[in-house]
A and B are shown apart, each in its own frame.
Chain A
Amino acid sequence: MTELPTTTTRKMGLVIDLDTCVGCHACVISCKGWNTENYGAPLSDQDAYGAAPVGTFLNRVHSFEVQPAATAAQPAPAAQLIHFPKSCLHCEDAPCVTVCPTGASYKRVEDGIVLVNESDCIGCGLCAWSCPYGARELDLAAGVMKKCTLCVDRIYNENLPEVDRVPSCVRTCPSGARHFGDLGDPDSAVSQLVKARDGMDLMPEMGTKPVNKYLPPRPKDTLEDQVDILAPLLAPATEDPGGFLGWLDKALDKLPGGSA
């Protein structure tokens, strides 16, 4: 049914830390891998090895440049590069669900995850039109709409070790920039993180009430002087080599002709 539930028992979602994301795109690749091999139609590519390859992805990383305004304290602040992962935000008031003519799009009451029943999807694309975040992509091979499932086939999967029961992107992120949990529970780790770091909504004026939150980047600090923090680590471990090399060194020193 395309009527949205008035409340959901839990609000499972992601918290994405724009301060720590390094823009490696590992989440993009692991998402593509997991979701091609598991739930629903595979994420197809067209002309994958040709001149104009395109493909379906559920998670993409944009990059933005922020040039802070000059202040008295910082007359020439350095620009910041912010990597910006974007996938379905599993909105509480999801417009993509209500516009669906077939009932293929739905929001689950038990955990708030927005899913597509691919056997009912006619591929009209209206849900993608209604999504302000570009979270939905029509798969050209399958002709049905694809979107982030919050790895619904991982998070409850008892065949996986417990550490793997999180979305693939969260499990993969090498910088710990992605967090998964119940944002409806004020005591959960993700809710606490959002509270501590002033987590924000994307396009709040759209009234979609996204569950996923973004943690804003912290302002960069500045170094007083140029300090070579690597120098002590790069210094030779010993000035006087021993063993065979030490003997060779001494033996060569004794030969006439001097050394460099």
Chain B
Amino acid sequence: MHPAPSVILFTTLSGFGFGLLVFLGLGYPGVTGWMAFVFYAIAYGLAVGGLLASTFHLGRPERALKAFRQWTTSWLSREGICAIAALLVMGLYAFGAIFMDRTWPALGVIGAVLSLGTVFTTSMIYCQLKTVPRWNMPLTPVVFLSFSLAGGALLAGQESLAIWLLLIAGAVQLAYWWQGDKAFAASGTTMASATGLGGDGATLRAFEPPHTGSNYLLREFVHVVGRKHAQKLRAIALVMGFILPVLLLVLPVDSNLVKHLMAALAVVAHMSGVAVSRWLFFAQAEHVVGLYYGKR
């Protein structure tokens, strides 16, 4: 699949933003006043920035509001509704914390559930697609949720919890790669099933494509360049996203300033690692339509 920068930015940033909102809604940390303002500014910046980035890949962004209508069948529609609901509820909760020095725990819990629900609905947009076997696995929502919680805990300054969540997310990532590499073969879709040709032991190959140039399908679904350095990028994603942040958090430091600097470094490392992982999530995903072109 084409790793569109807008979609990578969207899933990565909004994942962090809604992850942070989960922890803020649950009262970790239970901040008020200016401290709360800074935390909510970061969370809303990430979540809303991500959502705005996602509209850049639309052919007709001015009609984006129409996307809230079909929640009965469409995960994309459900995601939009969940995101708006989470931002509204958490906005009210943030208003209380920042300006009234009040926290309403029940409202916070609802906001946290909606925030987590937004990440889940995002992941289901990909998970539902039978046409992309690497995404069509129960592990896909687990990846999105575990990444969002780990990043949220890190941003919320919940260091002892963040270590465990980072370790879990790293393990989920490894399991996702391991299972994902076998997914296309396991799906049973081949050039033979795509064309109905080549029975009785015959050899089937794509002889000539329908067009000499490129087209929408090849640009969108058969993106091979991004996979070239997959193994190296996987190593980078794992080290930057999970191993380095955990090391930075567990190293014993005396000075408070150094401790804060290392936590900030852990956040930057984790974010870049997750962005690389998200690049691979798209670049390595193979759409079955490539079979008609003899490509994956």
List chain A positions with a Cβ less than 8 A from chain B: 1-3, 18, 25, 28, 52-57, 60-69, 81-82, 84, 86, 95, 97-104, 120-126, 128-134, 137-140, 142-145, 200-207, 214, 216-217
Contacts and interface: CB of A to CB of B under 8 A. Distances in A.
Interface string B195-231: 1111011111111111101111100110000000000
21 contacts: A54-B214, A54-B216, A57-B211, A63-B206, A63-B209, A64-B197, A64-B205, A66-B197, A67-B204, A98-B74, A100-B73, A101-B68, A124-B59, A125-B220, A128-B216, A129-B131, A132-B130, A132-B288, A201-B196, A203-B189, A203-B194
Nearest to A99: B74
Contact of A120 (B63, B125, B132, B202): B63
A62 B130 contact: no
A202 B195 contact: yes
Given A100-B74, A101-B76, A202-B196, A121 B130 contact: no
Contacts of A61: 210
A99 B213 CA distance: 29
B217 A122 contact: no
B260 interface: no
Contacts, number: 199
Nearest to B80: A101
A118 B211 CA distance: 26
B66 A120 contact: yes
A122 B67 contact: yes
A132 B196 contact: no
A1 B70 contact: yes
Interface of B: 1, 57-61, 63-64, 66-70, 72-77, 80, 125, 128-132, 187-189, 191, 193-198, 200-211, 213-217, 220-221, 287-289, 292-293
Contacts of A3: 72-73
Given A121-B60, A137-B217, A205-B188, 11 more contacts: A2-B73, A18-B197, A57-B210, A62-B210, A84-B292, A95-B130, A100-B73, A100-B74, A122-B64, A128-B216, A134-B217
